[in-house]
């Protein structure tokens, strides 16, 4: 037997790794050329990427911007490159980008004859001031929701935004939205006043019923009365003038913003011990999920007229918003239910054992965790519903897709195809990709160590 005992006398110093292991060379070697097969795949992929990119890039950048019609585009291409293939004609975007963005929304609502290229003389807001302001305010309003570092005071903008948005976009008297907002104040005051006298359930019912009565019977006449005394408002804009990418954002923002809370309520309802509530929620979710969105949109645009009393003017965009919201809420509910199911029962028991009541437990313990688990699913649903807003072109609204038909029907641009859809694709990609990145940021931020 040999001696197995060993004692190290000197500790080994640290040595630099061989050159082939570090730096750019090391990285390339490890990740791209680690074996024969890998090297071949790398070369094939590189060639493929080069092939695709060289075509797309030359199409994108060896292109014509200054042209007023497709034929003019083609002439310039022939003169410059000798052929008309492989060159984009961005002239169409240059010509029609305002329409693609804003549809037929008037640039100066107070001056119906003015156009972008022919602005009114004086005393007017810049072109498209209202939709642009609405968009900027949207960014301000969601900042405190998305980023905890944003000043908390901005939450007031967030609270006012649901009333500002329709007023700025559709215009009209300021009193209408103010009276709608007053309904919430009435509900809140009623709740605070009676909560000590009667139980919290009675107070809650009162806080729901009173505002409903107010909106149904009082808000309209009161707004009308005040308006005739103190007329205060801006030029109204008709729903049929709405369109373009602006319409997609409008529909998307409303559907996303409203469907999340409805989805939470539906998901909780589906888990409820109250059988009627539970089956109402299940029925709603399963029905909506079982029907294509386009069917719901047709219901909104055509069928609903059959059920409404004749002469009622129920705005088409509002109807579409409701349908899209309900549609996305049903999906949202299922995504959130997945998050709820992933929570261990111990979390409910922990909350219960401390004496938190049902709503406190949901709000403070259950929902924050369930929503965090569901972030990828929630954002997928957001992205999905945002892209689905393009379906409204089928029921005759002029969203970006609907507008392309009109543009291509114009003799000047008859035959333009790729450029329009590339432009639309980029618009949607920017928004959807931002949402996706934000969700990753949020997941990282909410990471609080393994469970």
Partner 1 sequence: MSELAIDREIDRSKMQVSDEVAIEITNMNKWYGSFHVLRDINLTVNQGERIVIAGPSGSGKSTLIRCLNALEEHQQGSIIVDGTELSNDLKNIDKIRSEVGMVFQHFNLFPHLTILENCTLAPIWVRKTPKKEAEERAMHFLEKVKIPDQALKYPGQLSGGQQQRVAIARSLCMMPRIMLFDEPTSALDPEMIKEVLDTMIELAEEGMTMLCVTHEMGFARQVANRVIFMDAGQVVEQNEPEEFFNNPQSERTKLFLSQILGH
Q: In the complex, which residues of this chain contact partner 1 (CB under 8 A)?
A: 344, 346-347, 349-357, 360, 364-365, 368-369, 372, 446, 448-451
**What's the distance, CA 34 to chain centroid?**
43
Of 313 and 447, CB closest to partner 1: 447
Smallest gap, in angstroms, from Cβ of residue 370 to partner 1? 10
Smallest gap, in angstroms, from Cβ of residue 255 to partner 1? 28
Smallest gap, in angstroms, from Cβ of residue 372 to partner 1? 7
The helix or strand, by DSSP H or E, that contains position 264, with its residue range, turns out to be helix 244-270
The helix or strand, by DSSP H or E, that contains position 228, with its residue range, turns out to be helix 219-229
Smallest gap, in angstroms, from Cβ of residue 195 to partner 1? 14
Rg (CA), the chain: 29
Of 347 and 380, CB closest to partner 1: 347
Please return the burial class of 296, using the count of CB atoms within 10 Å of its CB with bins 0-12, 13-18 and 19+: buried
User: Is there a contact between 187 and 194 (Cβ–Cβ < 8 Å)?
Assistant: no
User: Is there a contact between 87 and 63 (Cβ–Cβ < 8 Å)?
Assistant: yes
CA atoms of 327 and 325, how far apart (whole Å): 5
Number of neighbours of residue 450 by Cβ within 10 angstroms: 4
Of 232 and 446, CB closest to partner 1: 446
Of 2 and 447, CB closest to partner 1: 447
Smallest gap, in angstroms, from Cβ of residue 197 to partner 1? 17
CA atoms of 307 and 304, how far apart (whole Å): 5
Of 356 and 412, CB closest to partner 1: 356
Of 15 and 451, CB closest to partner 1: 451
Smallest gap, in angstroms, from Cβ of residue 124 to partner 1? 51
User: Is there a contact between 443 and 119 (Cβ–Cβ < 8 Å)?
Assistant: no
Smallest gap, in angstroms, from Cβ of residue 199 to partner 1? 10
Q: Which residue has the tokens 């806080």?
A: 207
Of 200 and 239, CB closest to partner 1: 200
The pair phi, psi for residue 326, each rounded to 5°, is -60, -40
Three-state DSSP at 120 gives coil
């Amino acid at each position: 037997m040999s001696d197995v005992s060993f004692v190290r006398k000197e500790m080994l110093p640290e040595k630099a790794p061989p050159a082939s292991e570090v730096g750019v060379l090391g990285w390339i070697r490890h990740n791209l050329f680690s074996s024969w097969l890998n090297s071949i795949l790398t070369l094939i992929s590189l060639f493929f990427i080069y092939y695709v990119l060289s075509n797309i890039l030359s199409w994108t950048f060896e292109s014509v911007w200054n042209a007023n019609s497709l034929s003019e585009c083609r002439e310039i291409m022939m003169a410059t490159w000798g052929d008309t293939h492989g060159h984009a004609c961005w002239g169409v975007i240059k010509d029609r980008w305002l329409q693609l963005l804003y549809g037929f929304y008037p640039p100066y609502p107070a001056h119906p004859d003015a156009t972008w290229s022919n602005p009114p003389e004086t005393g007017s807001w810049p072109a498209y001031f209202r939709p642009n302001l609405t968009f900027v305010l949207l960014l301000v309003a969601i900042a405190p929701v998305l980023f905890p570092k944003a000043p908390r005071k901005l939450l007031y903008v967030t609270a006012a935004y649901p009333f500002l948005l329709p007023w700025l976009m559709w215009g009209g008297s300021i009193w209408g939205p103010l009276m709608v907002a007053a309904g919430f104040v009435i509900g809140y005051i009623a709740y605070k006043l009676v909560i000590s006298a009667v139980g919290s359930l009675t107070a809650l019912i009162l806080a729901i019923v009173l505002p409903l009565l107010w909106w149904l019977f009082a808000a309209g006449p009161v707004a009308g009365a005040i308006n005739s005394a103190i007329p205060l408002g801006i030029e109204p804009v008709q729903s049929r003038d709405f369109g373009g990418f602006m319409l997609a954002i409008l529909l998307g923002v409303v559907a996303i913003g409203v469907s999340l809370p409805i989805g939470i309520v539906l998901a909780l309802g589906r888990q409820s011990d109250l059988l009627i509530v539970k089956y109402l929620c299940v029925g709603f979710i399963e029905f909506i999920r079982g029907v294509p969105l386009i069917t719901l949109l047709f219901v909104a645009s055509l069928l609903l007229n059959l059920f409404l009393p004749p002469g009622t003017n129920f705005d088409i965009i509002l109807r579409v918003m409701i349908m899209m919201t309900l549609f996305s809420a049903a999906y949202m509910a299922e995504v959130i239910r997945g998050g709820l199911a992933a929570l261990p029962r111990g979390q409910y028991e922990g909350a219960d054992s401390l004496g938190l009541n049902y709503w406190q437990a949901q709000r403070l313990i259950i929902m924050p965790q369930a929503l965090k688990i569901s972030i990828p699913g929630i954002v997928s649903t957001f992205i999905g519903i945002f892209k689905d807003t393009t379906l409204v072109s089928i029921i005759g609204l002029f969203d970006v897709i609907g507008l392309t038909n009109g543009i291509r029907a114009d003799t000047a641009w008859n035959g333009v195809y790729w450029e329009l859809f590339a432009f639309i694709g980029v618009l949607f990609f920017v928004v959807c990709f931002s949402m996706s990145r934000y969700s990753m940021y949020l997941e990282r931020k909410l990471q609080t160590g393994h469970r």
